[in-house]
Chains A and B, each alone.
Chain A
Amino acid sequence: QVLTQPPSVSVAPGQTATISCEGNDIGSRSVHWYQQRPGQPPVLVVHDYSDRPSGIPERLSGSKSGHTATLIISRVEPGDEADYYCQVWDSRSDHLYVFGPGTKVTVL
């Protein structure tokens, strides 16, 4: 399973950022999303396409359509500037748990 993400997304404060994650088997797998701020460990922000762990604001949401999963950040704030990674489980892959290459979100 190879996951494809855009390298970067730029968004103005208050606007909406969308980050895509494409993969051949995305439609049949649970997709999870992580936020990693500079110098910090990753944080799970969305799991199983659209569920949020406790403490994650509703501004962050996930969806899926066909071969693409999407992380949506509404009403973007400066603190949302971070790298975002999608992740799936794939028993056929060299890595049992596969991460996308990451998307750098820049708040203008």
Chain B
Amino acid sequence: EVQLVESGGGLIQPGGSLRLSCAASGFSVTYDYVSWIRQAPGKGLEWAAVIYTDGSTYYAHSLRDRFVISRDNSKNAVFLQLNSLRVEDTAMYYCARMPAQTSRFHSWGQGTLVTVSS
């Protein structure tokens, strides 16, 4: 059974950093793509970043200077480093599995909440 479990969210002051984790099971993060998608309170879904099977990474243009996606193959986990956080980064952050060579988010985790506030 495919499972994704996010962690690492919390309350952080503007300008701070957080590292979100996505622990995957039931599939390999080296054989499938993994994306991070966020959802601000009461708002829609916004794709943030993806890491492909070859290790290449892509970001939403507005986030690429502050967010970094990475993975640890030995732990079968994907991470999202959030830097220089802003109030508008407050959101639920989901990781999602994408079968390789597809553009769909096939399985989602429960999400981890990031709140940026002073």
Chain A residues within CB distance 8 Å of chain B? 30, 32, 34, 36, 41-44, 47-48, 53, 85, 87-89, 94-102
Chain A residues near B104: list those with CB within 8 A: 30, 32, 44, 47-48, 87
Chain B residues within CB distance 8 Å of chain A? 35, 37, 44-47, 50, 58, 60-62, 94, 102-111
Main secondary structure of the interface of A (DSSP, over half): strand
Could you tell me if A97 and B44 are in contact, using CB atoms closer than 8 angstroms? no
- Residue pairs across A and B with Cβ atoms less than 8 A apart, 11 shown, are A30-B104, A43-B108, A44-B106, A48-B104, A53-B106, A87-B103, A87-B104, A94-B62, A96-B50, A99-B44, A101-B44
Q: Which among A32, A96, A102 is the interface contact of B60 at CB below 8 angstroms?
A: A96
Q: In the complex, what's the smallest C-beta–C-beta distance from B33 to chain A, in angstroms? A: 10
Could you tell me if B103 and A88 are in contact, using CB atoms closer than 8 angstroms? yes
Q: In the complex, what's the smallest C-beta–C-beta distance from B53 to chain A, in angstroms? A: 15
Q: In the complex, what's the smallest C-beta–C-beta distance from B46 to chain A, in angstroms? A: 7
Question: A98 vs B47: C-alpha distance in the bound complex, in angstroms?
Answer: 7
Could you tell me if B103 and A30 are in contact, using CB atoms closer than 8 angstroms? yes
